[in-house]
Every structure is written in structure tokens, then in C-alpha cells.
Chains A and B, each alone.
Chain A
């Protein structure tokens, strides 16, 4: 029994060592050769936000008239970018690090985990920027900010689950890469980031708004914005859907997707080295 515990310890010890080193390497390599380096983590979402703000808020008037909409847009952009990046890069990570898999035995979920963790670091930097900007942009910080932490964990779990699932499939079918790109775009438009959810309701698509809010990614992003920026103006699934049991669906779905990802990955990961 003691031996078993020791072995378990050794196993995760190794995984942790590799994980730390890979996260560090990925982070170092990420802005390798760029002039501004890590500053891009801050600049990129800001510039993206600027574009969206000008196009959707100024020109197309996608706004619910609340004072927090711009900062909510910035926050949503950052969160979505994390989701898109971690799933996209996580999906490709196994194939991209095929050189490692073919040469050495190590728990290969570490590759996906370290890649998504890299995106997580960017998100942390971005959220710091969001919080800083929020103080000038009518954000209402309350005790609810603490609730952001479990939501972030949920978002990470969801992204990791999707990345593990897609990553396993991508080893066998490279088509997944193209499909996911399109799907991600569709999901982006189906998430109230560039437009307020009230816009969907106002045009008489109340049912669509409810369905949208029940998607795990949307629910998490809305939860984070609600708790972080303005509990008054950003609605969550709990306010939009009456059936409280149904409201649990996106939370359960996130856990299920993570479980499914781990399950599929574990089933196929032993063969990755041979297939690649």
C-alpha cells in the first residue's frame, strides 16, 4: 500500500516537473523575437477591443445603453480570446509536439494542460487590465468579485475539456482543425459579447436568448462579467431562465465536457506516439 502511494506520488511529481518546465518554455517562446514582448498580452486585446468598439458600438450602435457596456465588451473579448486560443492551441498541441511524444515517455496530457495554462496566464494579465480600466468605466466592484474565481476555474475546465477532446480527434483527423475554426466563429456570434443580450430579446427572440444563455461558454462569460463588472446591468442565466434546474445545465455540461475530454484522451493517448 505504501509502495502504491509512493508510486502515485512519483508519477504526479514527474508530471508536475514537466508541466512547470513546459509552461515556462511556452511562455518564453510566445513572445520570442517580438519587440514589445509580454506587453502584447495587454496590447492585443486592447487593440481588438478598440476595433470592436468602433465598429459595433459607435457605427452599428450595438449597445444596451448601460454605462458598463464598453468595459463589459472588453472583458468579454478577453474571456472569449482565452476560450478560442486555449481550445485552438490545445487542439493542435499534441500534433505540434509530436517530436516529444515520439522520443520520450511522459504523461502526454501535460502538453495540452501546459498549452491551456499558457493562455490562462495571458487571461490573468488581461483581466488585470480589465479591472484597472473598470475603475474608470463605471464598473461596480462588490464582494461578488470573489465569485469570479470559481467561474474562471469553470472556464478553464471547460476549455481544457474541449482541448483534450479536440486534441485527441485532431491526431486522427486533421479536418477537425478547419471545422473547429468555423464552429468557434459561430459560437462567438452566438455569444452576447459584441452585442448585448437585451438586443436579442428586444427583437422578439426571447427563446433564442435563453438557449444562448444555456451554453456553457456563454454562461461562464456572463457569470464573470456579472460578478466582476456590474451585477446591475449584466444578466446571468439565473435571471433569464425560470426553471432553476435547467439553469444548472451549463454547469453540469462544463463538468461533463471535461470528463468526456479526459476519458477520450486517456483512451487514445497511448497510441498517439505511433499515429503521429
Chain B
């Protein structure tokens, strides 16, 4: 597992035979923001800070030394967790922000969509808004005239175009904005998390459009998204940004996998948890001050080996007790397996129990293991059990199964269960 993690983290070698022209070049871009530590938006505070010699701000480095190239015809994905700096990067690419260091070179007409419907005004009609929005994107009236019908068709809003925008439903507004975005005849399209728009039929339409634009060697798309499905489906290259740096670049599958892994490593709490004001965290109590499930190695599983995980617990009473481990399916929903009263424990105090779970039977997906600690006042009667502690969301173990060729709509894979036709 650790090996696969290492492999992922290594930058995939750039294909050297790529001789398509570079349309976007980002070189050594760094960006920091000055965050005011004291209120400095008034003349008085600015003056007082100045007289006291206080800078009045701290510097936050959002991006450090970002380098990448996008070639013509690429469908380029930028992924990263919230706060990783990808939106800032996008704003720098779109020239809304100026980088403190480095430079961005753009060849061709770049059409940015940091947000859909920039400048949309509820008091104007749909038609007027299309022209205004188009003008802001740099299109003249004649150019918009030429693509107007396309936009309206795509948005499916033909009969509403002379209505004021405030009379549109929110879905209609978004559809109109999105249509302007993708019908705009730019060379480089920059899209920020705009895939989840509209109803299913409209989604399918967008899907077709992206598939189509992917084939077009003259159009370049830069897509910022959280949807790994979209990255895997459309992109041919991607980068993963973490804390303002590119940690994976190149192969879209590596990027998508690493991103999944990053998400599983949710911010871990400090090891020793002391009750705050005598209050224990959810699920724990004075009798069981510690209970946590954690993966023994990486929670991103790419090989058919049993998954190993540990349960840390602390229990000091003499009563007979056991751990119940439950496996949840986070993708499809439902409980997959449960250990009931099988895992009786004997060690008291602070302990760690290690378990193994074979995963041959199930398809790829996101899963969660939770644990409960229960006592058995009457060791012969399982029904007499009493639950003392459980692991909440933050103490459970999430893992992702990503074995190639193991995708499936259903939970059980074909090796496990398959319908056979008899007649």
C-alpha cells in the first residue's frame, strides 16, 4: 500500500513528443494575501496603526512556486481540497489577481468563468443579460449576434428571452449563464466547478458538449472541480494542489486517486483527548474515554489484499466486553457486515486491537468502518449486552476501494454473485 502511495506522489514524466503549441504557461507563480489583523479599513485605524508602527496585517501564502503548461486541445483538470489555493490560481490565470512572483503567459482568447453569469442583472431581460455578459467576456455585439441563437437553444429558453431575469427560476438563470459560458467562442475556456448545474437532461447535454469539446483539437479547457468522475472522464491531464503547491501533476488517474486519498486523511485530532469541562466527545464517556478506528496503512486500496485496521480503546472495568465492528457502504448506502458479539476482548486499560477484513466480494466504492464497545453482564446471553461507547464520524475509519476493473453499480462484484440464465 505504501508503495502505491509513493508511486502516486511521484510526478508522472511529461510526454516529450508533445509538440502541440503551449497555450497557457504558468511559471513560478506565487501569491500571498495580506490579512488584516486589526480593523484597518478606516482612516482612523490606518492612521493609528501608522503612528504606532503596526503593519496591521499578516501575510498568508496561498500559492508557492506553481509551474505547469497547458497545450492546445488539452482538457486540463485542477483539483485540490477546499482552501488549497486552486481558486486563487484560477483567478491568477484569468488575470483577476496579480501574482507576487512568477508569470502567466496566455496565447489565445481566454474566457474565464470563475462564476456563472458575471454581471447578470435581475432588472434586465434575458437577451440584454446575454449581451452584457458577452461584452464583459470580450465579445462585440456582432459576435454575440452570431452565437445568440446557439446560446438560447442550448439553454432551452427561447420563449423567455424577453422576460426580465428576476422572473426566471434559479435553474433557468443558471442554465442561461452556463450556455453563455460554453457557447462563447473562446480558445481557452476556464471553468470553476460548474458541472453540477441544471436538471438531468441538461446535465446530459453538458456531458455531450464536454465530450465534443474534448475531441476538438483547437479548444482548450481548464476545469477546476471536486468531481473525480468528471476528471477521469474528460481530462487528459490534471494537477493536484495542496497547500499552495502542486503535489501531483500529469496523469489524471494518479491525480484523482491522490485526491481521494487526501480527502480520507481528514484533519486528525490530537492523540490524547482530554475531556473538556468534564464533557467527553460524542460517543465516549468516563467509562470508555477512548475508542477509535484507524487504518493500519493507506486508506486508498488498489490491490486485492485484505484491509487491515486497528481499534484503539480504553476500558478498565472487570465486566466481560466485546467490540462490534460494522462496515458501511458510503456510496450506495447500507450496512455490509457486522461482527455482532464475535470479537470478545480480554485486555483491560489502553489497548490496540488489530483486525483484517477481506474485500474480495465487493466492488469499488467508499466505505466506513465504525466500532462500538459493549459489555455483557451475562456472558452466556448475548441479548443482555449494553453499549458503552461508539465511534462517531471523526473516530471512524473511511477508506476507498479503487481496484482497476472492479467498478460496479452494485455492491457485490461478479466473482461473488452473478445471475445465471437457465432457459
Query: A residues within 8 Å of B by Cβ?
Result: 13-14, 17-18, 20-22, 25, 28-29, 32-33, 99-106, 172-176, 270-271, 273-274
Please report the C-alpha to C-alpha distance between residue A172 and residue B36 in the assembled complex, in whole angstroms.
12
Judging by beta carbons under 8 Å apart, are B135 and A173 in contact? no
Judging by beta carbons under 8 Å apart, are B124 and A274 in contact? no
Judging by beta carbons under 8 Å apart, are B135 and A17 in contact? yes
Judging by beta carbons under 8 Å apart, are B124 and A18 in contact? no
Stretch at the interface among B115-123, B220-228, B233-241, B364-372: B115-123
A32, A103, A174, most chain B CB atoms within 10 A: A103
Judging by beta carbons under 8 Å apart, are A105 and B95 in contact? yes
Please report the C-alpha to C-alpha distance between residue A16 and residue B86 in the assembled complex, in whole angstroms.
31
**Contact status of A17 and B139, CB under 8 A, knowing A25-B124, A32-B123, A104-B94:** yes
Q: Select B135's contact among A18, A175, A271, A274, beta carbons within 8 Å.
A: A18
Judging by beta carbons under 8 Å apart, are A104 and B118 in contact? yes
A-B CB proximity, top 7 nearest: A21-B135, A105-B95, A103-B118, A175-B43, A103-B114, A270-B98, A103-B115
Q: Select A100's contact among B43, B44, B118, B124, beta carbons within 8 Å.
A: B118
Please report the C-alpha to C-alpha distance between residue A31 and residue B64 in the assembled complex, in whole angstroms.
48
* 19 residue pairs bridging A and B, Cβ less than 8 Å apart: A13-B140, A18-B138, A22-B132, A25-B124, A29-B124, A32-B123, A99-B118, A99-B119, A100-B118, A100-B119, A100-B136, A103-B115, A104-B96, A104-B118, A173-B43, A174-B42, A175-B42, A271-B98, A273-B96
**Contact status of A273 and B112, CB under 8 A, knowing A21-B136, A25-B128, A173-B43:** no
With a cutoff of 8 Å between Cβ atoms, the chain A residues found around residue B128 in the complex are 25, 28
With a cutoff of 8 Å between Cβ atoms, the chain A residues found around residue B137 in the complex are 104
Please report the C-alpha to C-alpha distance between residue A105 and residue B114 in the assembled complex, in whole angstroms.
10
Please report the C-alpha to C-alpha distance between residue A270 and residue B97 in the assembled complex, in whole angstroms.
7
With a cutoff of 8 Å between Cβ atoms, the chain A residues found around residue B139 in the complex are 17
Known: A14-B138, A103-B114, A106-B136. 16 other contacts (CB 8 A): A13-B140, A17-B140, A18-B136, A28-B123, A28-B124, A28-B128, A29-B121, A29-B123, A33-B123, A103-B96, A104-B94, A104-B112, A104-B119, A104-B137, A105-B96, A273-B96
Q: For residue B188, give the distance in angstroms from its CB to the closest CB of chain A.
A: 13
Q: Taking chain A's interface residues, is the majority helix, strand, or loop, or is none over half, making it mixed?
A: helix
Residue in A closest to B129 when the chains form the complex, CB atoms: A25
Q: Tally A-B pairs: CB < 8 A.
A: 74
Judging by beta carbons under 8 Å apart, are A173 and B42 in contact? yes
Q: For residue A269, give the distance in angstroms from its CB to the closest CB of chain B.
A: 10
Judging by beta carbons under 8 Å apart, are B121 and A105 in contact? no
Q: For residue B267, give the distance in angstroms from its CB to the closest CB of chain A.
A: 27
Judging by beta carbons under 8 Å apart, are A105 and B123 in contact? no
Please report the C-alpha to C-alpha distance between residue A25 and residue B68 in the assembled complex, in whole angstroms.
39
User: Within residues 59 to 107 of chain B, which ones have a CB less than 8 A from any CB in chain A?
Assistant: 91, 94-98
Please report the C-alpha to C-alpha distance between residue A18 and residue B95 in the assembled complex, in whole angstroms.
17
Q: For residue A94, give the distance in angstroms from its CB to the closest CB of chain B.
A: 14
Judging by beta carbons under 8 Å apart, are B96 and A172 in contact? no
Please report the C-alpha to C-alpha distance between residue A175 and residue B39 in the assembled complex, in whole angstroms.
14
Residue in A closest to B44 when the chains form the complex, CB atoms: A175
Please report the C-alpha to C-alpha distance between residue A20 and residue B124 in the assembled complex, in whole angstroms.
16
Please report the C-alpha to C-alpha distance between residue A13 and residue B148 in the assembled complex, in whole angstroms.
20
User: Within residues 1 to 45 of chain B, which ones have a CB less than 8 A from any CB in chain A?
Assistant: 33, 41-44
Q: For residue B107, give the distance in angstroms from its CB to the closest CB of chain A.
A: 12
Q: For residue B244, give the distance in angstroms from its CB to the closest CB of chain A.
A: 16
With a cutoff of 8 Å between Cβ atoms, the chain A residues found around residue B136 in the complex are 18, 21, 100, 104, 106
Please report the C-alpha to C-alpha distance between residue A115 and residue B169 in the assembled complex, in whole angstroms.
30
Cβ of B131 within 8 Å of any chain A Cβ, yes or no, is yes
Judging by beta carbons under 8 Å apart, are A21 and B132 in contact? yes
Residue in A closest to B93 when the chains form the complex, CB atoms: A105
With a cutoff of 8 Å between Cβ atoms, the chain B residues found around residue A173 in the complex are 41-43, 46
B42, B137, B138, most chain A CB atoms within 10 A: B138
Judging by beta carbons under 8 Å apart, are A101 and B96 in contact? yes
**Contact status of A172 and B41, CB under 8 A, knowing A21-B135, A25-B124:** yes
